[in-house]
Amino acid sequence: MSDATGKAIGEAPAKKRRRFAAGPWLILSLVIIAVDQFTKLQVTEALALYQRKPVFPFVDLVLLHNTGAAFSFLAGASGWQNWLFMSVAVLVSAGVLWWLVRLPARGKTVLALGLALLLGGAIGNLVDRVIYGYVVDFILVYYGEWSYPAFNVADSAITCGVALVLFDGLVLERRAARPPD
């Protein structure tokens, strides 16, 4: 027997097919990876290791090889840290990718943007570690004798991505959960 829709009585309802909403965000991640690798290649070809080239009064290009993590954490270790950081990058990238593809098609733009930036940045630096055993850093921001640790496009994408994910979770989600006035 069947009902008015033609389904057999007692048949489980068909699963609603979700629209794959992550496509544009994955493309953005690929663009971040490409821009990151392109800029690192350009700087590697233009500068010698530790050479500085002024860009603005407070920004220089400088070629550095970072075997550590953020702020050169563990850079002086014997090499085991590269395997640790590659493993962490793979796990984080897999988790972010899983989260990104499971987002709804609408209503999570800030979170999706943050995750896409984070994914692109993590993979961009992972590519360096796999190929070279270190990450190429080249942007140096300074004022007088003070300088911020050198960074790259991937680092910038990770920083912006984390900020957007935190903004989504700490501000936007709280606003959405608040009852209307």
HSE-up of residue 41 (Cα within 13 Å, Cβ side): 9
* Look-up of token digits 């994408």: 157
DSSP assigned state of 169:
I
Among the listed residues 3, 155, 168, 181, the single catalytic one is 155
CA dist 167 and 43 (Å) reads: 33
Is 168 part of the annotated catalytic residue set? Answer: no
Among the listed residues 36, 60, 137, 168, the single catalytic one is 137
Nearest to 121 by CA among 70, 53, 56: 70
Stretch (H or E) spanning 93: helix 80-101
Is 137 part of the annotated catalytic residue set? Answer: yes
Q: Which tokens in the block code for residue 87?
A: 């493993």
CA dist 181 and 161 (Å) reads: 32
> 43, 61 in Cβ contact below 8 A?
yes
Residues labelled catalytic: 137, 155
